[in-house]
Structure 1
Amino acid sequence: MSLINVDQSKCIKCGICTSVCPSAVLSLDKTGPKVTAANNCIACGQCVAVCPCEALDNIKSPIAEQTDIESFPVINSKTAEHFLRSRRSIRCYKDISVPREKLLELTKIAHYAPTASNSQGISYIIVENKSVLENASKITFEWMESQLNNSPHWSFSRHVKNYKATGIDTVLRNAPHLILATAPNNFKNGRENTISQLTYVELYATTIGLGSCWAGLFEMCAFSNYSPLLSLFNIPGDRVITGAIMVGYPKYKYNKLVNRNTLNIAVIN
């Protein structure tokens, strides 16, 4: 079966599909678009989505599975700026579980984020069990303490000391949920794709009343392949954790937008 099918009665031979193809899969001749390098197709669906006449179909990204866009952009620039700036890293959560359907909604949105050459490849583990989260924090603190003996870290000592003195969890912040991203251990774009996808989660979470925060200390422990932590989540040997974010209902409301440091910009003209 051919990679693409062209409805000649609709095709106006504009060549837009060949122009937007990121992998040079298509070329244009007098009869319309032709496949010249089928193996290069990354299933991004741009050729199908951009066609002004709906004349093109790609078996890797069928037109029947694409959704019509009525208008774009859907929000003005000022609203977008306010929305993006109002996102905060949430470190204080209500002691309330998030319905599973909302957590699944977050991972679904993550799946639509841009990834390197449309490689995607990220899977998710949603952690709802509070005792598992408590154990994960405990294990991470144990790992941080073990690192102090050989390679002191500027923040590890502070976190471990406070945890021992007060029992306050600065690893997972008593968040009710944790979303773990995993990828095959030989997948070269795992971390980059995870950052892109979990950024989508962070932004979308605010629209359904949730807050989130990257679990940086937890990630450092996971990235060191610390076996007690990997065993806790039953991570198989052929996969690695590539990212983690806490999720829950924010305990407090932020009423101000915070500025950043002065932006340094260089322009080459």
Structure 2
Amino acid sequence: MTMDFIQVDQDKCTRCGICAAVCPGIISMGAHGPQAIRNLCVSCGQCVAACPQGALDNRNAPLANQVVPKRTIDMDEETAAYFLSSRRSIRNYLERPVPRSELKKILNIARLAPSACNSQGVAYHVVDHPDTLRQITAAVINWTESELNRPSEMAASKYARNTSMMVDIYRRNGEDVVLRSAPSLIIAIADKESYASARDNTYIAFAYTQLFATAIGLGTCWAGLFEYCAASGYEPILTLLNLPPDKIVTSAMMVGYPQYTYQRLVGRNPLQVTWQ
């Protein structure tokens, strides 16, 4: 790799040094303005975004791909706190399909979430066919039951009784206790070789997903049992998903229109913090 990944418009550059300040150790100020000094660019684009004059371009994060905000964000502290505390995990959904255009909206926001060293690396596999969703639930129940009936981490968990109750409910009346009859399941996938970092990246991206979904009238909930089942390599689930052999599931989230409106905000344990 050469170190010509940045280009400077000398007519616009004022030598302010902001680009070097936001990318220390990789960009430095030289006699003729900013210059790359190490081939360690992670394509975050901060150098380009911070330049007040639009004088800097980066081959790895082109100026042409960056958008100038049309307005400043006018959100006060109280409004932001109210919005964040109004998000709830939704476990009851209307029998109403979510248009794929709406799912693409929230996933387009998910891709903007922070990731380790700008690694990103998370892709999405969406299941919205009712028959496939029912088959996924049945497979997860079978896996869960087998885990509970043998010495396993799940069987030893403090939540084992709750999980056993869920299996019993499904066996007795067919209620979907896994995906909660959600009309859509978003499955995050990544390269097997980058599983650890991609899983962390997925959780951050799904936090973005949950919040933006709330803003457009959708509800979400983490599909925990499905995630554990898929991560275990359970063959019936992997067969159903038919993912490429080099991909692995990093997490999953159910999405749909909430059946009920909650009248109160989220409550949590008291804040615990120490200072030093």
Work out the number of aligned pairs and report it: 266
* Greater CA drift, 173-182 or 64-73: 64-73
SS at match of 1:225: coil
2:35 aligned residue: 34
* Deviations 1:84-114 (CA, angstroms, capped at 9, x unpaired): 0000100000000011111111111111111
* Deviations 1:7-60 (CA, angstroms, capped at 9, x unpaired): 1122111211111116x221112321111112x101100000001111111111
Contact 2:87–2:266 (8 Å) recurs in 1: no
Structure 1 Cα separation of the partners of residues 45 and 71 of structure 2: 19
* Greater CA drift, 210-219 or 66-75: 66-75
SS at match of 2:90: coil
- Percent same amino acid among aligned pairs? 45
What is the root-mean-square deviation in Å for CA atoms of aligned residues? Answer: 1.3
2:175 aligned residue: 168
Shift of 1:71: 4.3
Gap regions ≥5 residues in structure 2: none
* Deviations 1:135-184 (CA, angstroms, capped at 9, x unpaired): 00000000011112213251331111121122211100000000000000
Structure 1 Cα separation of the partners of residues 214 and 148 of structure 2: 37
**AA aligned opposite 1:12:** T
How is 1:230-249 mapped onto 2 (pairs within 5 angstroms)? Answer: 230-249=238-257
TM-score (norm: length of structure 1): 0.95
Gap regions ≥5 residues in structure 1: none
Structure 1 Cα separation of the partners of residues 258 and 148 of structure 2: 32
Structure 2 Cα separation of the partners of residues 207 and 119 of structure 1: 27
How is 1:99-118 mapped onto 2 (pairs within 5 angstroms)? Answer: 99-118=99-118
TM-score (norm: length of structure 2): 0.93
1:209 aligned residue: 217
* Greater CA drift, 67-76 or 41-50: 67-76
Which consecutive aligned stretches of 4+ in structure 1 deviate over 4 angstroms post-superposition? none
How is 1:1-269 mapped onto 2 (pairs within 5 angstroms)? Answer: 2-21=4-23, 24-38=25-39, 40-151=40-151, 152=155, 153=157, 154=160, 155-187=162-194, 188-268=196-276
SS at match of 1:240: strand
